[in-house]
Structure 1
Amino acid sequence: MVNEDREILEKLKAGDVQAFDIIYGQYYRGLFVFASQYVDESDCEEIIQDVMLWLWENHHILIPELSLKSLLFSAVKNKCLNRIAHLQMRQRVHERLYEKYKEMFEDPDFYIEGEILNLISKAISELPADYREAFELNRFENLTYNEIAEMTGVSFKTVAYRISQSLRILRVKLKDYLPLILWL
């Protein structure tokens, strides 16, 4: 077996594709079973592919006297351990993010309502000053058009026009959020 591995490694080092195919066929199943002790089966195939790709890309630097079996299994084990470390790091990041934004996840309505209210406030603040004043007096102070007209010194029709234009502008600016606004 050792002599066979040495011959195959010498052929692989020379760039023989058939030698690579033999190695792949001979070791794939064992490497897969070995890797499955560390990681999920979905990761096993990717890890073995990476190791085999590395083997082919670096065939010219291989030392035929080394144990091919030890090389492959060590490489797979190291890649598995790296994958485990990566998954653990990802889990820690997810946990930190969850803790940081837990309120949003626990009460998404609170977050959505706050964001929608911010968007509405911003859109109202961007209205022309006369339009904004008439709109706010009508919608937030519950004043009638006549009361607003007396207060601002303009006609009833001017107040009606300013409020209707405000609503038109707000509908355009908030068109993407109207279903959520209506829902809230």
Structure 2
Amino acid sequence: MKSAVDIQMSDTTINSFNEIYSSYYKKSFFFAKSYVHNDFAAEDIASEALIKLWEKLKTEKINNIGPILLVTLKNKALDYLKHEEVKRAAFESMNDWHLQELSIRISTLESCDPNEIFSNEVENIIQNTLKSLSKQTCQAFLLSRFENKSNKEIAEQMGISVKGVEYHISKSLKALRISLKDYLPLFYFFFYY
């Protein structure tokens, strides 16, 4: 077993990257892994630290490699852990938002009352919205949604182009979506197919 003096002596005689790699990779890997608990990340940290050490050795004379390597490993492991902490916090925030949104959807669906859906209030909103549209727009919508006619059949019956029918139906759906904003799921249930 080498003493600290032997290691320090051999540090000053290292001449190639392969020597550094074979002498320090395993130590560096296990040091990093003991903190990051991820083999792939520890491999990257160890390799990057050894490359950085090699670059430093090419430009300056270093008598004791150990402390310099350890500081580099420590900083790279800290960077990794801080990045993981940010990712975890972001994931938890997204998860919290998703759970909150899911809770709202569940409570909304649980409070969905079919009797209310077919209430006079909803029917009045639909009737008033359709009355506010032009006669041609309302007619195209009624033929499409309540008589189940195709756009081509509606175009022939009304004497307009298929594009014109699509325009009128789209205009109707937009108006209904706005007026039924408090009943949006019902809007989709009744008018989209």
In which range does the TM-score fall when normalised by the shorter chain? 0.5 to 0.7
Q: Which residue of 1 aligns with 2:11?
A: 5
Q: Which residue of 1 aligns with 2:143?
A: 138
Structure 2: distance between partners of 1:4 and 1:81? 29
Structure 1: distance between partners of 2:46 and 2:148? 75
Alignment partner of 1:95 out of 81, 85, 92: 92
Counterparts of 1:101-180 in structure 2 under 5 Å? 101-102=98-99, 132-140=137-145, 142=146, 157-159=156-158, 166=165
Structure 2: distance between partners of 1:22 and 1:56? 10
CA shift for structure 1 position 45? 0.7
Tell me the amino acid that sits aligned with residue 81 of structure 1.
L
Q: Which residue of 2 aligns with 1:22?
A: 19
Structure 2: distance between partners of 1:26 and 1:43? 20
Q: Which residue of 2 aligns with 1:33?
A: 30
Alignment partner of 1:56 out of 40, 54, 57: 54
* Contact kept in structure 2, 1:35 and 1:76, CA below 8 Å: yes
| Structure 1 segments unaligned to the other structure (5+ residues) | 12-18, 111-128, 146-154, 171-183
Structure 1: distance between partners of 2:76 and 2:55? 17
Post-superposition Cα deviations, 1:11-49, rounded to whole Å, max 9, x if no partner, equal 4xxxxxxx2210111111111111110111110111112
Identity percentage over the alignment? 19
Tell me the amino acid that sits aligned with residue 76 of structure 1.
L
Alignment partner of 2:41 out of 21, 29, 43: 43
* Contact kept in structure 2, 1:135 and 1:163, CA below 8 Å: no
Tell me the amino acid that sits aligned with residue 4 of structure 1.
S
Tell me the amino acid that sits aligned with residue 86 of structure 2.
M
* Contact kept in structure 2, 1:131 and 1:163, CA below 8 Å: no
Q: Which residue of 1 aligns with 2:78?
A: 81
* Contact kept in structure 2, 1:135 and 1:166, CA below 8 Å: yes
* Contact kept in structure 2, 1:32 and 1:45, CA below 8 Å: yes
Q: CA RMSD in A?
A: 3.9
Q: How many residues align?
A: 133
* Contact kept in structure 2, 1:38 and 1:80, CA below 8 Å: yes
